[in-house]
Structure 1
């Protein structure tokens, strides 16, 4: 499974009809909105992809259609009830191209690929997971009350890991650029906003007030991550630089 994020622009005729110089105003015009579109293309080479229900735009090739399911149908239904993943999420397998629904300008996402081994279990915020290879097991993890109040992710998050002996590939989407960092033993990540969008098992997340009896350094409630593992962080999320 390979993916490519493309920015589609209007035709030359559109520029001509709207009296816009394409060479100088390709991405911005002071008075007219240029309708740029972002679209994800997924190339399958005898492989499979699980996508969010309702995100398919089109597909072409020698492909077969199925729905996501594991050996535990009750768990699949539970995941669909507690997260944004549907238990009948579409799965496409074979040889060909899968195109996801285009996003209009102003709603673009930054996509981050993550490799998941069988020893890792990733936990993602709602809305961050976009699609993945079909060699995964998807579950759900309940949040603590303080996490629910601070993150706005509801009561549950998606938990995902690769099948035994395999390496899965997950693509996440965030409003601002994100990257995967490694938290080593003895290290702690502290942030005063929800900069972490996902993390692996071995990492402990907490949301609490910094300090006691009002002596918190003026920071109030903060996110604290400790342990050993990987984190998906969006450092510029609060800066509005997406």
Structure 2
């Protein structure tokens, strides 16, 4: 499974009809909004992809359609009820190209591919997961009351891991750029906003007050991350630069 994020622009005829010089005003025109579209293209070569229900735009090739299932149908329904992933999420397998629904300018996302190593489990905020290879196990992780109160994720998050003996791939999307950092034993990450969008098993997350009895330095409640593992962080989202 390989993916590419395409930025599509209007045709030459559109520029001509709207009296816009394409060479000098391709990205900006003082009086007209030039429409650009972002679309994800997924290439399959004897492989499969699990996508969000409703996110398909079109597909072409020697492909078969199925729905994601675990060995436990009740678990599938529980995943559907507690996360944004439907228990009948579409799965496309074979050789061809799958295109996801386009996003118009102003709603572009930043896409981050993550490799799921054997015995490695990632936990993601609701709404971050976009698609993944079909050799994964989808599950859920219940949040503590304080974690749910400090975020918009509800009571549950999606958890993904690769099938035993395999390496899988998941692609997530956020409104600001992200990167993966690694915490070593004894290190901690403290953030005053929802900076972390996902982390691996072995990381402990807590949402608690910094200090007690008026000795908290004015920070109030902050996010604490400790343990040993990887984190998906969005550093610039809290700067409101978007």
TM-score by length of 1: 0.99
SS at match of 2:225: strand
Whether 2:101 is the aligned partner of 1:101: answer yes
- Per the alignment, residue 61 of structure 1 pairs with 61
SS at match of 1:238: helix
Superposition pairs of residues 48-197 of structure 1, within 5 angstroms: 48-197=48-197
- Per the alignment, residue 208 of structure 1 pairs with 208
CA distance in 2, matches of 1:92, 1:124: 23
CA distance in 2, matches of 1:118, 1:125: 21
Q: Which runs of 4+ in 1 moved over 6 A?
A: none
- Per the alignment, residue 40 of structure 2 pairs with 40
Give the stretch that moved more between structures: 71-80 or 40-49: 71-80
Deviation at 1:44, TM superposition (A): 0.0
Deviation at 1:233, TM superposition (A): 0.3
CA distance in 2, matches of 1:227, 1:164: 24
Residues 156-192 of structure 1: per-residue CA shift (max 9 Å, x gap) = 0001000000001000000000011111111000110
- Per the alignment, residue 233 of structure 1 pairs with 233
Name structure 2 gaps, 5 residues minimum.
none
CA distance in 1, matches of 2:76, 2:222: 33
Deviation at 1:87, TM superposition (A): 0.4
CA distance in 2, matches of 1:205, 1:30: 47
SS at match of 1:147: helix
Residues 8-45 of structure 1: per-residue CA shift (max 9 Å, x gap) = 00001111111111112111222211110000000000
CA distance in 2, matches of 1:209, 1:63: 52
Deviation at 1:241, TM superposition (A): 2.7
Name structure 1 gaps, 5 residues minimum.
none
Residues 100-123 of structure 1: per-residue CA shift (max 9 Å, x gap) = 000011110000000011221100
CA distance in 1, matches of 2:72, 2:4: 33
Residues 55-74 of structure 1: per-residue CA shift (max 9 Å, x gap) = 00000000000000011111
- Per the alignment, residue 219 of structure 2 pairs with 219
Give the stretch that moved more between structures: 118-127 or 94-103: 118-127
CA distance in 2, matches of 1:146, 1:31: 48
TM-align CA RMSD:
0.7
SS at match of 1:151: coil
Deviation at 1:240, TM superposition (A): 2.4
